[in-house]
Structure 1
Amino acid sequence: MARATITPARRTMTAIIALTTGLTGAASLAQAQTTSTPPAADAPARGGASNGASDGASIPEIIVTAQFRAQRLQDTPIAITATSGAELEAKSVESVTDLTAIAPNVNLSQATGLNGSAIQAYIRGIGQNDSSFALEPGVGIYIDDVYYGTTFGAILELNDLDRVEVLRGPQGTLSGKNSIGGSIKLFSKKPDGNGGGFLEASTGSYGRLDFKGSADFTIADGLYARVSGMSKHTDGYMTLLDYGCLYPDSGITATTGSKSCKTGTEGGIDIHGGRLALRYQPDGSPLEINLVGDYSQNNSEQVATKLIAADNSAVRSYVADDASAGVPFDSRFITGAHSYTSYANYASGGNYDSVFGPYQVEPGSFTTSPENTAKAWGVAGHVDYQLGDHLALTSITAYREAHGKTGIDLDGSPLSLLTQEFTYGHKQFTQELRLSAQLGTLADMTVGGYYYNARDRITGRVLLPTSQLDFIQDDPVTNRSTSAFVHGELHLTDALNLIGGLRYTDDKKTYVFHRSNTDGSVPDGASLVNLLVVGLNDQSSTYTGDRIDWRLGANYRFSPELMVYAQVATGYKGGGTNPRPYVVDQIVTFDPETLVTYEAGFKSDLLDRRLRFNGTFFYNDYKNIQINRYTCSESVLSTCSEPANAGNAHVWGLEGELFAEPLDGLQIDGSFGYLHFQYTSVDASTGVSLAMKAPFNPSWQSSAGVQYKADLGHGIGTLTPRFDWTYQSAFYFNSVNADTNKVAARSLFNLRLTYASHDGDWELSSAITNLFDKFYYTGKADNYSNYGVVTGAVGRPREWFVALRRSF
């Protein structure tokens, strides 16, 4: 049962049981666990018939470890998309946010500016769009089987990968930590001692200049290493303009004297990183150890953001002698509908005519910059020990840190409605221990335990003139989760398998609120400024809860070409405390959201394995849905930004994936997803109605791609053109649906042409993304009711690049 209390801040327990492995590591770096050697492509699966692979098979086989053991994708009875690293490159998939293009009912994008360098990850309409450490991701992000516990810092570059697995539906009994919506698992290439590697350089539009590479080598017998690195730079595509410079008679003071009136850009990318992996596996030894360390520095710009709606005449430009004569915040600050321009200046300079009188902020008294940075590092250890022919022990130990800063100008104008600056700090330790057994040909079993401990901090300055707020925030957050789990597969016949899983989880989260005036003093009510936050300083709130999740399923292989499966699974996303109270009575808790999913699907390889078609139907019983509301009528201040439980819903959907090679060299792939969301009950105080939909629930998503690998003959090499299309229907960005936060449908197209030498050592590629230069929004921050402002995060325009790769 969950309970929540407001208590004085206290220190949390930090002692943990020392592990016999003595290894620590990074959440994004531990190696993927396999309890046995992956089966050959033509070997029959345990507990099932062969899938019909042959030497002449057209469709490449991918081995996945979603059920704690190595299995072919087509023998894994869950909704999963698996793609090799080579396929990702062919589709110009470079970042984790680009994975939207490869899997149905998956919606990934960079979060809006308020959330720092974070990801908005949704699968089947379930996820999290707020990066606050008080909230849990709805979609688990894993690298090499290690859970990364926050959306902040989770925009990862896809470099030197073996494969990606996207698991849809609750993974409470499978993945390291509970993931209610699904999981995205990235698996890096392990050192294998075979040598080799590559170097690649790219250049393109907006000053693009990228470098990446890797190398694999043997240190000694049984000891191997792999080093990889990358550098990525692209200039910003959203131009920031000085309104006073462009319109000198407007009453707005110019801040630059340049002829272009340009003050900067948004949307620029500047990322550098490296990774070192060591693998110890002597011939014939039952022991395998993988140690990994990495470091990355993301110095990118703020998300490209554009003002869409503006109407708040109470906020005006600062005029020293007469505040009421200032220029009001209205549509004059909206630039052309499809132009990549903004008047945001990342500085204060507005004042507010409130019932308390004008609140004036001198121009330049608070200035931030359009930066969105994240620096991360970590180390990791993954140990596999074969205790016997049918018994294996796995230990995954991980430690990671991420720190970053973001400057925020959410009104997109030279005035100051929402000017803020935050720094984020995240530290996490995780330990997972598994014992896997094969009980002859009857069953496969895995039992284990999981521990997660995070220490986080959010600091920064909040300037909200419309609420008479200008304060410093410094909030520590602690998050501890422990769990025990068991997963089993019972092989009743060569064709029929039963699956069951159970997990118990215990959570504890504490949030402490520190508030001070800009001079460091504690708000005491002596000034009208920060009057509302009086009493917030040193308040704390603790949430505790536990949960049992389970999974039951069965699968049957009718033939080497066709397998069907059905399952029922549960999942949840933990509750917590409102991290953004404006007044004391807004320190409130919210409950966990829960999910029961009923799912049935099939996996097929047809036409002598020239055609692969997989399909899934699911039905979700979704309860206590967590949303964010912006109006709190029960509070002394109706303006708020507060997580709450909106109600319950039924969601059903369809998913399909296709891969075909009708002719040698010609490949066609595609996917589609459909979501039908319907609230069955709502809490009216949240502003949600039965006719609305939860955020990030597009009804349709689809993708298609075609490529042809043409042999140029005479040892010249091959030429491969590829064309890709992705579609996403409209969805709402806010829980309270309105036209102002409706993100329009979009179709995007990519084109790529690749030449490869006959020996594969050289490769030259050229590509265009967003081929038809579609102007679109990835999200819309709608705060029209409180502040009279709506801004949109603008997707990337058409870009081209050329890349040259040398493999060795």
Structure 2
Amino acid sequence: MPALPIRTKLSLAVVLASGLAAGNVAAQLEEVVVTAQKRSQSLQDIPISISAYDEQAIEAMRLIDAQDLGLVSPSLQMPAYPTSSNNLALFIRGIGNADSMVITKDPTVGLYYDGVYAARSSGLLADLSELERVEILRGPQGTLYGRNSTAGAINFINAKPTGELGFKQTVGVGNLDSWRATTHLNLPRMAGISAKLTGAFSDRDGWVDNSGPNRIPGLEYTDYYKKENQGYRIALRYDGVENLLVDYSYDYSDMTTGSGYFQYAGPAGGYAGDGSLITNSFRDRLKETRTPTGGGRYAYYLPETKTEVEGHNLTIQYEINDQLTLKSITGYRNLDDDLSQNFAQAFGDAGSLEVWTSTNDDQFSQELQLVGSAERLNYVAGLYYYNENGDQSEEQYLDRATYDLTGIQAFTLPTYAPCSGLPGGPYAQCAGIPFVNYLPIFLGEYTIKTDIESWAGFGQATWTPNMLDDKLDLTLGLRYTDDQRDASRTNDGLPWNLFGPGKSSSDKDKVDYTAVVDYNWTDEVSTYAKVATGFRSGGSSRNSLDFNQSFDQETVTSYELGWKSQLMDNHLRFNGAAYYMEVDDIILDYLPDPVNAPNVVEVFNSGDANIYGVEADIQAAITERLLVSFNYAYLDYDINNAIFPDGSD
């Protein structure tokens, strides 16, 4: 397979904010403290390609929700998935998973809320206000973060209760009748307990009208890309016992959106309203004329998509002595998602494909960490358990806004349909009744159930040998993971339902490692060389014809050279990295018949990829109130030896 196009990303931000420039006469950059290695460290001291943004930076750069992070962090892309703006597609260094709502396939970017792993990025468009910090780690994080972090990891750290009475309210308005409001209330500390309450609300009208004269009372005709969000968070902190710190939080978010708007380019072949064949040369005109936006002839039945996410987090830290801390992180998260997709606008006057997907996903995780230090040695060791249970059902209907013989019929009747007449023609009939009278046609329903259980043990240590004036640090980390998965698919038994019943399972284990050599040339400049591995779990192909087959793990080995520098008396920070990654047994999607059966997707392992890139992240404090940020990412990659199931490459 030939090399794919080079991708380059560059962004520049000029920020007027006293908070970002430290707000002092010296106009120096503030130290950024992160917990990327399970202990508090300066951003400049850890040999990781990482971006971190605290509360002041988030506010100064006007970052509203998680999707905005892709605008300021090198090598990070976070576009909304086309069919649901509640679901973000996360990519770091070119590796990602477009649709995290496929519960039989795991993501490649580890997503964490206060250290608790979240398998699905639905609901990630939550408000970023009042975060203490967000950390974006680039490259495989297989040792400390584990499975499904082959591209990197993102950790959202929420601000903790202050223990003092405080109130903060923000309100904003915009076009499309949009508005946004956030409320934060800190309560005074009592009996060793501090509390904080947060509420975030936003609303925006759709920006593609779903209008037309054919509206039927009682049906929903939501505008495309409408969005309405509300979220709540309760945080409690107990510090009434010496050496003991307990944090509990509960978060809930409710998101309502309208479907995305699709421009359909036309099929490779088909039939027009009079039964004549549509040729490929007609495709461009279909793209332009089939789907007028706004004020069209037909309004389409378009229910809203609703997503509810809730989570519990309990973190307990006990300081055994000055050099040893025991930490427990317990998490539970639940996702309920009712996704409505209507592709009517793609099919124009002819018809539409309605897809309703209902998902319930529960996950529980428990992590124990032992964080310690000794003479010339810092270490962390831990045990991890994770369980996820998912239930996902999908219904598909063929519908039409109204029947119009002059409209282009983009579908053809399946050969096994009990009908007579010309497939795709205007008078195809079933038992002598015009085909249109059967709309909407129920194409079928299937249900997927998954059960995932994972165990892991890990450890990482950094040693400073008594040589080279203590400027050299050596790090070694190991993690063992046992990953068990079971999945099943059932259907409604209709003869034309392509997705038959089946079961699949897998039981895999994997050892990942990290090795780093870090050298501090001065107090302000350091360089590091790093090799790290990671893996993405295997799974099942949700929309395959044969559900009894599963696909295997995808593995990554990364080689990285990086540098950290704080220059010009802390006025300039210049960090960067150059990397090379080898991806083996790539998990690929394959459509056997994209024209006649675009809903059939086979997932399989094949081939390997080589990824090369360089990143730069620069911040300069120009004056007390002016900070300039610049980041750049260059990526080049090719995929080799990928053979599709039909033998093509």
Q: What is the TM-score of this pair, normalised by structure 1?
A: 0.67
Q: Which moved more, 1:637-646 or 1:177-186?
A: 637-646
Q: Deviations over 1:485-518 (max 9, x none)?
A: 11111122532111111111111122211111xx
Would the alpha carbon gap of residues 572 and 176 (structure 1) be closer, same or farther in structure 2, given more than 3 Å must change? closer
**1:138-217 matched pairs, under 5 angstroms:** 138-175=108-145, 177-217=147-187
Structure 2 unaligned segments of length 5 or more: list them: 1-23, 399-410, 418-441
Residue among 10, 22, 34 paired with 1:64: 34
Instruction: Show the counterpart of 1:285.
Output: 242
Distance change >3 Å, CA 446–CA 386, structure 1 → 2 = same
Query: Letter of the aligned partner of 2:625 in structure 1?
Result: G
* Correspondence 1:109-128 to 2 at 5 A: 109-113=79-83, 117-128=86-97
SS of residue matched to 1:239: coil
Which amino acid counterpart does residue 479 of structure 1 have in structure 2?
I
% identical equivalent positions:
27
Q: Which amino acid aligns with 1:471?
A: G
Listed as ranges, the gaps of 5+ residues in structure 1 are 1-53, 246-253, 318-322, 348-366, 517-521, 690-808
Q: Deviations over 1:339-361 (max 9, x none)?
A: 864969796xxxxxxxxxxxxxx
Q: Is the 8 A contact 2:215 2:299 kept in 1?
A: no
Q: In structure 2, what is the Cα distance between the partners aligned to 1:344 and 1:89?
A: 44
Please give the secondary structure, in 2, of the residue aligned with 1:446: strand
Aligned CA distance change for structure 1 residues 210 and 624 (closer, same or farther; 3 Å): same
Contact 2:477–2:514 (8 Å) recurs in 1: yes
How far apart, CA to CA, are the structure 2 residues paired with 1:116 and 1:607? Answer: 43
Q: CA deviation at 1:448?
A: 0.6
Tell me which residue corresponds to 1:90.
Answer: 60
Matched, 1:601 2:565: no
Q: Residue 475 of structure 1 is aligned with which of 448, 452, 455?
A: 448
Cα distance in structure 2, aligned partners of 1:626 and 1:152: 21
Cα distance in 2 for partners of 1:380, 1:557 equals 37
Distance 1:474 1:182 in 2: 31
1:274 and 2:232 matched: yes
**Could you tell me which of 349, 354, 363 is aligned with 1:428?**
363
Which residue type is aligned with residue 371 of structure 1? E
Q: Deviation string for 1:167-210 (max 9, x for gaps)?
A: 00001112254411001111110012133231011111111121
Distance 1:426 1:641 in 2: 22
1:640 matched residue in structure 2: 600
Secondary structure in 2 matching 1:418: strand
What whole-Å deviation, never above 9, does each CA across 1:343-400 have from its counterpart, x for those lacking one? Answer: 69796xxxxxxxxxxxxxxxxxxx6x24222111222210000111211110001111
Change (3 A) 1:217 1:316: farther
1:571 aligns with 2:527: no
Task: Determine if contact 2:133/2:156 at 8 Å carries over to the other structure.
Answer: yes
CA separation of 1:183/1:414 partners in 2, compared to 1, >3 Å: closer, same or farther? farther
Offset at 1:647?
1.1
Number of the residue aligned with 1:713: none
Question: Following the alignment from structure 1 to structure 2, what is the Cα–Cα distance between the partners of residues 461 and 116?
Answer: 20
1:88 CA drift (Å): 1.6
Instruction: Return closer, same or farther for 1:335/1:271 CA change in 2, 3 Å cut-off.
Output: farther
Which one of the candidate residues 375, 378, 391 is aligned to 2:311? 378
How far is the alpha carbon of 1:85 from its aligned partner? Answer: 2.0
User: How many residues are paired up?
Assistant: 576
Q: Specify whether residues 623 and 688 from structure 1 end up closer, same or farther in structure 2 by C-alpha distance, changes over 3 A only.
A: farther
Q: Is the 8 Å Cα contact of residues 649 and 678 (structure 1) preserved in structure 2? A: yes
- Work out the CA distance in 1 between the residues paired with 2:267 and 2:295: 17
Match of 1:554 in 2: 517
Aligned partners of 2:570, 2:448: CA distance in 1, in Å?
56
Over 3 Å counting, the alpha-carbon distance change for 1:88 and 1:675 in structure 2 is: same
Aligned position for 1:459 = 393
Deviations 1:253-296 (A, max 9, x none): x4579xxxx954111110111101000113x7110000111211
C-alpha contact (below 8 Å) 2:27/2:623 kept by paired residues = no
- Equivalent residue, structure 1, for 2:13: none
Tell me, yes or no, if the aligned pair for 1:167 and 1:182 is still in contact at 8 Å: yes
- Secondary structure of the corresponding residue to residue 559 of structure 1: coil
**Partners of 2:40 and 2:290 in 1: CA distance:** 51
Secondary structure at the residue paired with 2:305? coil
Where does residue 542 of structure 1 map in the other structure?
505
| Structure 1 position 222, deviation (Å) | 2.4
Provide the rounded CA distance (Å) in 1 between the counterparts of 2:603 and 2:628: 43
Matched, 1:503 2:479: yes
- Give the letter for the 2:453 counterpart: R
The correspondence for 2:381, drawn from 447, 470, 486, is 447
Corresponding residue number in structure 2 for 1:749: none
**Contact 2:449 2:489 (8 Å CA) reproduced:** yes
Q: Specify whether residues 418 and 687 from structure 1 end up closer, same or farther in structure 2 by C-alpha distance, changes over 3 A only.
A: farther
Q: What are the equivalent positions in structure 2 for 1:526-541 lying under 5 Å apart?
A: 529-530=496-497, 532-533=498-499, 536-537=500-501, 539-541=502-504
Are residues 646 and 418 of structure 1, via their aligned partners in 2, closer, same or farther at CA, if it must alter by over 3 Å?
farther
- Alpha-carbon spacing, 1:63–1:337, altered in 2? closer, same or farther (3 Å): farther
Q: Report the residue type matching 1:90 in the other structure.
A: A
Paired with 1:338 and 1:84, the residues of 2 have a C-alpha distance of 44
* Residue 73 to residue 604, structure 1, CA distance change in 2 (3 Å): same
Report the RMSD for the aligned CA atoms in angstroms. Answer: 3.0
**1:306 is aligned to 2:262:** yes
Q: 1:485 to 1:415 in 2, by over 3 A?
A: farther
Give CA deviations for 1:309-368 in whole Å, capped at 9, x if unaligned.
Answer: 123664667xxxxx9599999767645899864969796xxxxxxxxxxxxxxxxxxx6x
Check whether the contact 1:172–1:180 (CA below 8 A) recurs between aligned residues.
yes
Matches within 5 A, 1:223-234: 223-234=193-204
Task: Find out whether 1:490 has 2:463 as its counterpart.
Answer: yes
Structure 1 SS opposite 2:209 = strand
The 3 A distance-change label for structure 1 pair 263 and 312 is: farther
Instruction: Find the aligned partners of 1:116 and 1:392 in 2 and give their Cα distance.
Output: 41
CA contact (8 A) 1:313 1:330 kept: no
Q: What one-letter code is carried by the residue in structure 1 that aligns with 2:364?
A: F
Aligned to 1:627: 588
Hey, what does 2:354 align to over in structure 1?
419
Alignment deviations for residues 79-118 of structure 1 (CA, whole Å, 9 cap, x no partner): 00011122122222111111111211111111121x6732
SS at match of 1:99: helix
- Partner of 1:406 in structure 2? 339
Q: 1:166, 1:185 within 8 Å by CA — same for their partners in 2? A: yes
Q: What CA distance in whole angstroms lies between the structure 1 residues aligned with 2:647 and 2:632?
A: 32
Alpha-carbon distance in structure 2 between the residues aligned to 1:395 and 1:560: 34
- SS in structure 2 opposite 1:74? helix
Are residues 1:222 and 2:192 paired? yes
Asked which structure has the greater RCO (Cα within 8 Å, sep 6+), the reply is: 2
**Partner residue in 2 for 1:390:** 323
Q: Which residue of 2 aligns with 1:102?
A: 72
Contact map agreement 2:573 2:620 (CA 8 A) in 1: yes
Select which of 638, 649, 653 maps to 2:609.
649
Kindly state the Cα deviation for residue 157 of structure 1 after the two structures are TM-superposed. 2.5
Shift of 1:156: 2.9
Query: Are the counterparts in 2 of residues 240 and 344 from structure 1 also a CA contact under 8 Å?
Result: no
State the secondary structure of the residue aligned to 2:162: coil
Cα deviation, 1:422-446, whole Å, max 9, x if unaligned, reads 111111111111111111x311111
Give 2:637's aligned amino acid.
Answer: F
The one of 591, 595, 618 equivalent to 2:579 is: 618
Q: Tell which deviates more after alignment, 505-514 or 74-83.
A: 505-514
Q: 1:166 to 1:680 in 2, by over 3 A?
A: same
TM-score normalised by structure 2 residue count? 0.83
Equivalent in 90, 104, 108 of residue 134 of structure 1 = 104
Instruction: Report the secondary structure of 2:69's partner residue.
Output: helix
The CA distance in 1 between the partners of 2:458 and 2:529, in whole Å, is 21
